[in-house]
Chain A
Amino acid sequence: MAMGLRLSSELVAGVLVGAGLGWGFDRLLSTSPWGLIVFLLLGFTAGVMNVMRTAGVMAKQSERL
Chain B
Amino acid sequence: MAADPIHQFEITKLFTIGHIGGQEIAFTNSSAYMFLSVAVISLLMLGTGRQLIPGRMQSVAELSYEFVASTIRSTAGSEGMKFFPLIFSLFMFIMISNFIGIIPYTFTVSSHLIVTVALALVVFFTVLFYGLYKNGLKFFKIFVPSGVPIAILPLVMFIEVLSFFLRPVSHSVRLFANMLAGHIALKVFASFIGMLGALGFLGWAGAVLPLGLTMALTALELLVAFLQAYVFAILTCIYLNDALHPGH
Interface size on A, residues (CB 8 A): 27
CB-based contact A13/B139 at 8 Å: no
Nearest CB of B to A31, in Å: 17
Name the contact of A46 in the complex, choosing from B159, B178, B241, B247 (C-beta under 8 A). Answer: B159
Contacts of B164 in A (CB 8 A): 61
Name the contact of A16 in the complex, choosing from B159, B169, B231, B235 (C-beta under 8 A). Answer: B169
CB-based contact B141/A12 at 8 Å: no
Contacts of A49 in B (CB 8 A): 159-160, 163
Name the contact of B173 in the complex, choosing from A1, A12, A62, A64 (C-beta under 8 A). Answer: A12
CB-based contact B166/A65 at 8 Å: no
- For the complex, give the distance between the alpha carbons of A17 and B173 in Å: 12
A42 sits at the interface (CB 8 A) = yes
CB-based contact B169/A13 at 8 Å: yes
Nearest CB of A to B244, in Å: 8
CB-based contact B158/A42 at 8 Å: yes
CB-based contact B162/A43 at 8 Å: yes
If over half of A's interface residues share one DSSP class (helix, strand or loop), that class is named, otherwise mixed; here it is helix
Nearest CB of A to B26, in Å: 29
Nearest CB of A to B231, in Å: 6
Q: Which residue of A lies closest to B177 (CB)?
A: A9
Q: Which residue of B lies closest to A59 (CB)?
A: B145
Nearest CB of B to A55, in Å: 13
Nearest CB of A to B127, in Å: 10
CB-based contact A9/B173 at 8 Å: yes
CB-based contact A46/B170 at 8 Å: no
Answer whether A50 and B138 are a contact pair too, CB < 8 Å, given A10-B170, A64-B145.
no
Nearest CB of B to A57, in Å: 14
* Given A13-B173, A64-B145, A65-B141; 20 other pairs, CB 8 A cutoff: A2-B227, A2-B231, A5-B178, A6-B231, A6-B235, A9-B174, A10-B166, A12-B170, A12-B173, A13-B170, A43-B162, A45-B159, A46-B159, A46-B160, A46-B163, A50-B166, A60-B242, A62-B241, A65-B135, A65-B142
